[in-house]
């Protein structure tokens, strides 16, 4: 079936604007993760959902970041009052079950540029 799908692929916003990034996980995958990848670095964890429950949001850098997965499938990452340091690639990943030792499959990411 289809892999993890993210939209938009590119997003340019002015500082102070709000943005919303969408993730469509692999069908039937229970777990969904958001990561932030700065240029030249490895992905860094933001938040984790098991079905609709947000079990870990310890990686969200500030209260301007908010994520939801209301029906346990599609997820949205929202960033309010964007700042230049929010510029990065935002990656979504999903895995089949809820255990920590299962493969995570990534989407192509959304490249966010804040002017």
Partner 1 sequence: GENVEQHPSTLSVQEGDSAVIKCTYSDSASNYFPWYKQELGKRPQLIIDIRSNVGEKKDQRIAVTLNKTAKHFSLHITETQPEDSAVYFCAFNNAGNMLTFGGGTRLMVKP
What are the residues binding partner 1 (CB under 8 A)?
A: 4, 31, 33, 35, 40-45, 48, 50, 55-56, 58-59, 91, 98-109
Query: HSE-up of 17 (CA within 13 Å, CB side)?
Result: 12
Q: Which CB, 5 or 80, lies closer to partner 1?
A: 5
Nearer to partner 1, 58 or 84 (CB): 58
What totals of helices (H) and strands (E) does the chain contain, helices first? 0, 11
Buried b / exposed e over 40-75, threshold 16 CB at 10 Å, is eeebeebbbbbeeebeeeeebeeeebbbebeeebeb
CB of 12 to partner 1, least distance (A): 16
For residue 109, the minimal CB distance to partner 1 (Å) is 6
Q: What is the CA radius of gyration of the chain?
A: 13
Nearer to partner 1, 31 or 75 (CB): 31
State the nearest-atom distance from the C-beta of 59 to partner 1, in Å. 7
């Amino acid at each position: 079936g289809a892999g993890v799908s993210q939209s938009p692929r590119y997003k340019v916003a002015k500082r102070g604007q709000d943005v919303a990034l969408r993730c469509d996980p692999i069908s039937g995958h229970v777990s969904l993760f958001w990561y932030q990848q700065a240029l030249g670095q490895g992905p860094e964890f933001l938040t984790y959902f098991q079905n609709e429950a947000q079990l870990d949001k310890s990686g969200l850098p500030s209260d301007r970041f908010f994520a939801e997965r209301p029906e346990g499938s599609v997820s949205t990452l929202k960033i309010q009052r964007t700042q230049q340091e929010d510029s990065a690639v935002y990656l979504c990943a999903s895995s089949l079950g809820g255990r920590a030792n299962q493969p995570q499959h990534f989407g192509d990411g959304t490249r966010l540029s804040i002017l």
